[in-house]
Amino acid sequence: MMQTQNSELPKLSLIVRDKAMMHLAYMPFLEHGGVFVPTTQTIDLGSQVSVDLQIDELNTELHFTAKVIWITPSGAQQNRPQGIGVEFISEAGKHARKQIETYLGDSLDSPQLTHTL
């Protein structure tokens, strides 16, 4: 049975303009990959969410279900933005991970800091 988007799940949106912004948001250290979404929404750790990810340079929109595994509160150290890190859990998330990693290419190995680590 194919997993469909659940309209009752909290919804997060992320618009990525370029590779630098994607690098800041992508979380390759997670087993299934994931992204950090700047938001002021309050969503509990472990909750499932619906995510809309737009990558402008690729003219691509990705939609997937994910699990909240990271929360950066307002006023976090090192001026990190407030938001939520989510791990891909759906087949659509696996597809998103492949597209993101292909898009980022060699920059996946960049030592540049991200929004999470």
Q: How many CA atoms lie within 13 A of 49 on its CB side?
A: 29
Residue 29 structural domain: 11-109
Q: Is 114 inside any structural domain? A: no
Question: Could you tell me the CATH number of the domain that includes residue 73?
Answer: 2.40.10.220
Summarised one tens digit per residue, pLDDT across range 37-85 is 999 999 999 999 999 999 999 999 999 999 999 898 887 777 778 899 9
Q: Is 115 inside any structural domain? A: no
Q: Is 69 inside any structural domain? A: yes
pTM: 0.83
Domain count, the chain: 1
Q: Is 117 inside any structural domain? A: no
Q: What percent of the chain has pLDDT over 70?
A: 86
Q: Is 71 inside any structural domain? A: yes
Q: Is 4 inside any structural domain? A: no
Element of type H or E holding 104: helix 91-104
Q: What was the pLDDT predicted at 11?
A: 96
